[in-house]
Amino acid sequence: MEKLILFNNTKLNKLLTKRSGESKFGEHIKILSSPSHIYEQLQNLDVTHVVFGLPEDIGVFANHGKSGASEAWNATLKILLNIQSNNFTKANSVLILGHLDFTAELLEVSKLNQNKKSDIKKARKIVEHIDSHVTHIMQLIISSGKKAIVIGGGHNNAYGNIKGTSLALKKCVNVVNFDAHSDFRPQEGRHSGNGFSYAFAEGFLKNYYIFGLHENYTSNKILETLSETKHLDFSTFEDIEIKEKLSFNDAMYKALNHVSHKPFGIEIDCDAIANIPSSAMTPSGFTVNQTRQFVSYFANHKNATYLHICEAAPKKKSANQVGKLITYLITDFIKAHETSIT
């Protein structure tokens, strides 16, 4: 656990803005007191949700994408801690665990040239290293009986989320992915575009559903794989929003039927949301409110096991708005679990 930096009272007090007559979320969250015996602490703590950050964008670099996903965690913390604590937000059922520190790896990658094949190969080896740490922390959280909320990083971290959850539950798991892209690229070395294909090939991922796939950015080869493989399914953004072949609600129902018969993860790639700063920002995508409805709908099922919000790449001017977006999704996930259904 050498990569885990625990969130503590010093950081909390620095970020928290108290106001007379109000009770802030950050005043009621739980934090861990020691980096030792993490599993035992998680198991004994009276919380339902564990939030942690992945401030890295190395998988995005390794996929020839634009950096910035490393900034989402800090942008989110500042907003999340300062929302109201009330009967809706359930702050006392939440542990802010901290983040995995990949500063050294980010520094190493900053010296690499994205146009050199040898440097891309090096970056992909570093992603494998990141995978092991994400897998381990996810395994601890899920094994302790808590729901995980994972913030930041590239979509390469879906692999660690899935593998860690699968190892904790001792069985393969399902995933619904709200995404413009399949992230089911070939197993050519780890990066943000093949977390699901690796997890599927290795037997950790069983049923996989891509919700809102963009037709303009999906190759025929991937479309053939998705169409011909029994456990893979998808709905395109165009079928839902442009051609209106099926409604947003019908598409969600179809996806839920594909994944909900066993524990499943909810993956949210911010490049599926229109005009949100991300590694592959789009002018044509789902709205923020649709994204919130999506999270709430799937989190309302008892088999929803984790939420991962990734690929948001805020700049200084957009940090507050991105932080608010991610905070809404976090609290929607928590609220839905309070009234989960079978």
Q: Is residue 20 part of a domain?
A: no
Q: Is residue 67 part of a domain?
A: yes
Can you give the three-state secondary structure of 34-60, one letter per residue?
CCCCHHHHHHHCCCCEEEEECCCCHHH
% of residues, the chain, pLDDT over 70: 99
pLDDT band at 340, cuts 50/70/90? low
In terms of pTM, does the model score above 0.95?
A: yes
Number of domains the chain is built from: 1
Q: Is the pLDDT of residue 2 over 90?
A: no
Q: What is the pLDDT of residue 60?
A: 97
Q: Is residue 125 part of a domain?
A: yes
Encode pLDDT of 207-226 as tens digits.
999 999 999 999 999 999 99
pLDDT band at 337, cuts 50/70/90? confident
Q: What is the pLDDT of residue 339?
A: 61
Q: Is the pLDDT of residue 1 over 90?
A: no
Q: What is the pLDDT of residue 76?
A: 98
Asked if 327 and 76 count as a contact pair (C-beta separation under 8 A), the reply is: yes
Residue ranges making up the domain that contains 281? 4-15+25-338
CATH number at residue 313: 3.40.800.10
Q: Is the pLDDT of residue 342 over 60?
A: no
The average pLDDT across 190-206 equals 99
- Please name the residues in contact with 92: beta carbons below 8 A apart, sequence gap of 6 or more: 28, 29, 30, 47, 85
pLDDT band at 143, cuts 50/70/90? very high
Identify the CA nearest to 54 among candidates 197, 143, 161, 139. 161
As a whole number, the mean pLDDT across the chain is 97
Q: Is residue 268 part of a domain?
A: yes
Of residues 279 and 289, more confidently modeled: 289
% of residues, the chain, pLDDT over 90: 96
